[in-house]
Structure 1
């Protein structure tokens, strides 16, 4: 277990909240990256149900949505045999380490978290305490496994920076004990961000300045993973654009958020760059481009939606996958949590 004495393969941790209506933003911004990372890293992919309850969740819907995210992982190409897929609440170490980190993190750090301000809004006094300390739990998710890398979107970079601050402060606070235990350079690693691909942030189809969200009232603002080809085509056809044809260079997208979003979506689905897309479609009217985008999106997403529906019809199998993943996650997390308790000074049997 001692990192000073053992060289391990890079380990990736990431999670998705089970809040229903998985959409294209989840797929391009996270899940496709998860699939690609399997080739070069040891990966843990978590359905973060503890994070989900920072706002009230209907219990039946929470269980259903947890299985839906698991189905989306597998349907998109994540291999639960080679890598670990599990739901957060089955590994109690997440909550235990989060409490230790609540006592390491500083109030001032949490007060700077922009996502809490955005989610709590003007009704901050009625937000849950869990929503406020959410970043500490996120740090625990990552550091419980000594993860070395975390795939994050731009909006999550601040949380990863906080996780690094918490790890560094813990290492500093308990430096003497950590050194006595034989760990050189600290007990917790400082995880690095992985931000890859042309569509890490997918925007609303009707407003290119806002992120695509499952909480938007209008279903026309997003493409759901379970949408059929007709629904996808309709939403893309009605997506907001501007009257100018597509530019020939990416620089021409800088002041055109809706065009930039659609080109980024095409690039993400085609696994290419915005520049390559514009070489093919620069100067074209949006009608031609949207037709090609609708065909590409349907070709990519329809098989995933069909496989998700097949998996969701067998919840026993999904639960078996989650149970197996939790068992394997425990095997990594439990020794790290036990050593953390030793370092802090907790007596344990």
Structure 2
């Protein structure tokens, strides 16, 4: 149960590395829009400091940052109802992250599965930032005393680490300052999978563009990608249980469910026993209907980067107004001398 002393506040972000995909939209942005104006103060961030934990071409990083912001705005994030900014414009994130680097334990970081997955066999060659970025993620959340964090299942461990850091800070300094943020994991297609391998998450960095639906894809490209999406030979089952052991089939059904705002069971009720020759075109038509207005608005906004930059700068100003008092109080608690 949420502590009544803290304002109900949502924080979440998307990393600008590569373009936005359908996975970003269904797994994150669509839910961000739904939470806007729903009894929470909503703060959304393009987490460009997280992006540079691996090498980024500066020109491409600027473009990707603006594209993510355009995706937020085109999908329905209202910069008057929500705070939208890019992380590097609010230096308090990095300042609080250093404090948390000194609170978090090495053993906690060693248990972070995402670092192991990203580093692979070359862990020794990875940046310190990639290793420590869960501490920065904790700072992102706790800098705003966020109470709810909409994340995918793969990020739940990082929210749990955030809670551990908050608890240890409160315990060590004998305060009750940072809240216990709650991960919000709900809805169909919260983890959209690869169109060529249903056991892997849809990724911006996959080897083939056919693995993913980009938010900038045109109607013909979307239709072609769904038509060529990997499936098995069996038709759609009549119940959700029939999707067990069929990752590609489950993925396409869950994508349809999320786009149509219905449950996977309702999708199967619409297409009981349907073959892929029937279902894939229907899914493509639905995706084009839902995504074309967004991609069109993104293209319009990307043609005017100054307007995107203005919105992000204004959002950063509003974010700093919340963040600085939290950081200042944190520094006082820790014992830093300040003028």
Length-normalised TM-score, structure 2: 0.98
Structure 1 segments, 4+ long, off by >2 Å, are 6-9
Tell me if the contact between 2:20 and 2:215 (Cα under 8 Å) persists in the aligned partners. Answer: yes
Alpha-carbon deviations, 1:128-186, whole Å to 9, x = none?
Answer: 000000100000000000000000101000000000000000000001xx3xxxxxxx1
Alpha-carbon deviations, 1:244-303, whole Å to 9, x = none?
Answer: 110111111111000000000000100110010011112010110111100000000111
How much has 1:20 moved relative to structure 2?
Answer: 2.2
Q: How far apart, in 2, do the equivalents of 1:8 and 1:139 lie? A: 17
Tell me if the contact between 1:20 and 1:68 (Cα under 8 Å) persists in the aligned partners. Answer: no
How much has 1:316 moved relative to structure 2?
Answer: 0.7
How much has 1:78 moved relative to structure 2?
Answer: 0.4
1:221 aligned onto 2:220: no
Q: 2:30 is matched with which residue? A: 32
Q: How far apart, in 2, do the equivalents of 1:174 and 1:254 lie? A: 49
Tell me if the contact between 2:30 and 2:75 (Cα under 8 Å) persists in the aligned partners. Answer: yes
What does 1:93-108 correspond to in 2, within 5 Å? Answer: 93-108=92-107
Q: How far apart, in 2, do the equivalents of 1:301 and 1:20 lie? A: 18
Q: 1:269 is matched with which residue? A: 259
Q: How far apart, in 2, do the equivalents of 1:140 and 1:47 lie? A: 14
How much has 1:9 moved relative to structure 2?
Answer: 3.9
1:284 aligned onto 2:274: yes
Q: How far apart, in 2, do the equivalents of 1:7 and 1:202 lie? A: 36
Q: How far apart, in 1, do the equivalents of 2:75 and 2:127 lie? A: 33
Q: 1:244 is matched with which residue? A: 234
Tell me if the contact between 1:38 and 1:78 (Cα under 8 Å) persists in the aligned partners. Answer: yes
Q: 1:323 is matched with which residue? A: 313
What does 1:197-212 correspond to in 2, within 5 Å? Answer: 197-212=187-202
Q: How far apart, in 2, do the equivalents of 1:66 and 1:316 lie? A: 13
Q: 2:109 is matched with which residue? A: 110
Structure 2 residue corresponding to 1:336, chosen from 318, 326, 332: 326
Tell me if the contact between 1:167 and 1:188 (Cα under 8 Å) persists in the aligned partners. Answer: yes
CA RMSD of aligned residues (A): 1.1
Q: 1:79 is matched with which residue? A: 78
Tell me if the contact between 2:19 and 2:68 (Cα under 8 Å) persists in the aligned partners. Answer: no
Matched position secondary structure for 1:234: helix
Tell me if the contact between 2:202 and 2:211 (Cα under 8 Å) persists in the aligned partners. Answer: yes
Tell me if the contact between 1:17 and 1:49 (Cα under 8 Å) persists in the aligned partners. Answer: yes
Tell me if the contact between 1:229 and 1:298 (Cα under 8 Å) persists in the aligned partners. Answer: yes
Tell me if the contact between 2:70 and 2:301 (Cα under 8 Å) persists in the aligned partners. Answer: yes
Count of aligned pairs? 337
What does 1:289-308 correspond to in 2, within 5 Å? Answer: 289-308=279-298
> Is there any run of 5+ residues in structure 2 with no aligned partner, and where?
none
1:260 aligned onto 2:250: yes
Length-normalised TM-score, structure 1: 0.95
Structure 2 residue corresponding to 1:21, chosen from 19, 22, 25: 19
Q: How far apart, in 2, do the equivalents of 1:233 and 1:188 lie? A: 47
Structure 1 residue corresponding to 2:303, chosen from 278, 302, 313: 313
How much has 1:188 moved relative to structure 2?
Answer: 0.1
Matched position secondary structure for 2:200: strand
Q: How far apart, in 1, do the equivalents of 2:291 and 2:211 lie? A: 17
Q: How far apart, in 1, do the equivalents of 2:90 and 2:159 lie? A: 21
> Is there any run of 5+ residues in structure 1 with no aligned partner, and where?
179-185
How much has 1:200 moved relative to structure 2?
Answer: 0.4
Tell me if the contact between 2:37 and 2:81 (Cα under 8 Å) persists in the aligned partners. Answer: no
Q: How far apart, in 2, do the equivalents of 1:315 and 1:149 lie? A: 31
